[in-house]
């Protein structure tokens, strides 16, 4: 490519569809030795974003307007996806967009499901690793324990949704996450990608939608804090009877994961593919 052919113009939507298929094909072909470490890293990055959001919100309730607090949480949580996209990582919620490559017959259903399963496992391991580091470092004791109390309260709230409420919140969340990833396909520079990520991610956090990988950190943190530091939990004054592993899996993780697949796969990936399909074929 000559200098005269180099452009910083954003890719148009039709070219983004083609790019999505190519990216999906490459991701599906990644060997296990690459896929698992990159999935582990993505899990840690999303967990770091959740830690950042909790730190920012600590002490703000009753002091700042609710919307302003949620705006700040969303802005700082965006760091997680920025690290995944710019730094490199395999994130389950973003990899839902592999349905484009599958629909284009570039990858098989088996390859699609293999990628999702391995990335999901890697994300969970990365998230749990951050949970243990937060517990060992006693980071939750920050601000005289207010940070830990907020973390417990957040985890407790997330396991009390009905199945279809959690499913809907998962759909809404991954429409935004996959739109953020989709918009990065148009970008030519790192700055383009960062700016494309910030607003959709800020919106989904501010609105309180549900992200399966973030919840792999948030809820297990509450569960393990409840198990390993019962005196702190008692001092919080919270009723955590609903915060159980069974509730985590069946009232949050499963419906939210299904919602994430539907939200990103259908409402973003497949609808864009259909809208910009080549006619006359």
Q: What are the sequence ranges of the domains in the chain?
A: 32-274
Q: Taking residues 35-47, what's their average pLDDT?
A: 98
φ/ψ of residue 61, rounded to 5: -60, 130
Q: Does domain 32-274 have CATH number 1.20.1080.10?
A: yes
90 neighbors 260 (Cβ within 8 angstroms): no
Mean per-residue pLDDT, 9-33 = 94
Give backbone dihedrals phi and psi of 64, rounded to 5 degrees, phi first.
-110, 155
- 26-36: average pLDDT: 97
Residues 154 and 172: their CA atoms lie apart, in Å, by 19
- DSSP letters, 153-201, are HHHHHHTSS-HHHHHHHHHHHHHHHHHHHHHHTT-SSHHHHHHHHHHHH
Indicate if the pLDDT at residue 165 is higher than 90: yes
The torsion of the CA quartet 224, 228, 231, 236, rounded to 10 degrees, works out to -10
Distance, CA of 211 to CA of 24 (rounded, Å): 21
Three-state SS at 95: helix
Question: What's the residue count for the chain?
Answer: 281
CB 150 within 8 A of CB 225: no
Q: Which two tokens stand for residue 269?
A: 């990936």
Q: What are 45-101's pLDDT values in tens digits?
A: 999 999 999 999 999 988 899 999 999 999 999 999 999 999 999 999 999 999 999
Q: What is the pLDDT of the chain when averaged over all its residues?
A: 95
Nearest CA to 219 out of 137, 177, 159, 172 is that of: 159
97-121: per-residue pLDDT in tens? Answer: 999 999 999 999 999 999 999 999 9
The C-alpha angle with vertex 205 and arms to 112 and 169, in degrees rounded to 5, equals 60
Q: Predicted confidence band at 5 (pLDDT cuts at 50, 70, 90)?
A: low
Closest CA to 28 of 83, 104, 137: 104
Instruction: Count CB atoms within 10 A of the CB of residue 103.
Output: 18
Q: What is the pLDDT of residues 202-261, one digit of tens each?
A: 999 999 999 999 999 999 999 999 999 999 999 999 999 999 999 999 999 999 999 999
**What's the rounded Cα separation, in Å, for the pair 272 and 258?**
20
Give the per-residue pLDDT at 4. Answer: 44
């Amino acid at each position: 490519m000559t200098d005269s052919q180099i452009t910083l113009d954003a890719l148009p939507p039709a070219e983004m569809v083609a790019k999505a298929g190519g990216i999906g094909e490459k991701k599906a072909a990644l060997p296990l030795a690459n896929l698992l470490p990159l999935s582990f890293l993505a899990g840690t990055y999303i967990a770091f974003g959740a830690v950042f959001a909790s730190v920012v919100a600590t002490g703000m309730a009753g002091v700042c307007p609710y919307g302003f607090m949620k705006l700040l949480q969303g802005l700082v949580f965006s760091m997680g996806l920025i690290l995944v996209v710019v730094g490199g990582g395999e994130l389950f919620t973003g990899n839902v967009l592999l349905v484009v490559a599958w629909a284009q017959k570039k990858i098989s259903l088996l390859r699609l499901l293999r990628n999702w399963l391995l990335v999901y496992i890697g994300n969970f391991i990365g998230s749990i690793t951050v949970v243990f580091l937060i517990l060992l470092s006693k980071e939750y004791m920050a601000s005289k324990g207010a940070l830990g109390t907020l973390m417990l309260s957040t985890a407790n709230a997330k396991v009390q949704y009905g199945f279809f409420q959690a499913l809907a919140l998962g759909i809404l969340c991954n429409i935004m996450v996959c739109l953020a990833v989709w918009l990065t396909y148009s970008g030519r520079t790192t700055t383009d990608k960062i700016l494309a990520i910030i607003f959709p991610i800020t919106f989904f956090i501010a609105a309180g939608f549900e992200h399966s990988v973030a919840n792999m950190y948030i809820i297990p943190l509450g569960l393990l804090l409840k198990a390993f530091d019962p005196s702190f939990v008692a001092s919080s004054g919270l009723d955590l009877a609903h915060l159980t592993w069974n509730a985590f899996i069946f009232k949050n993780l499963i419906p939210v994961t299904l919602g994430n697949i539907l939200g990103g796969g259908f409402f973003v990936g497949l609808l864009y593919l259909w809208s910009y399909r080549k006619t006359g074929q």
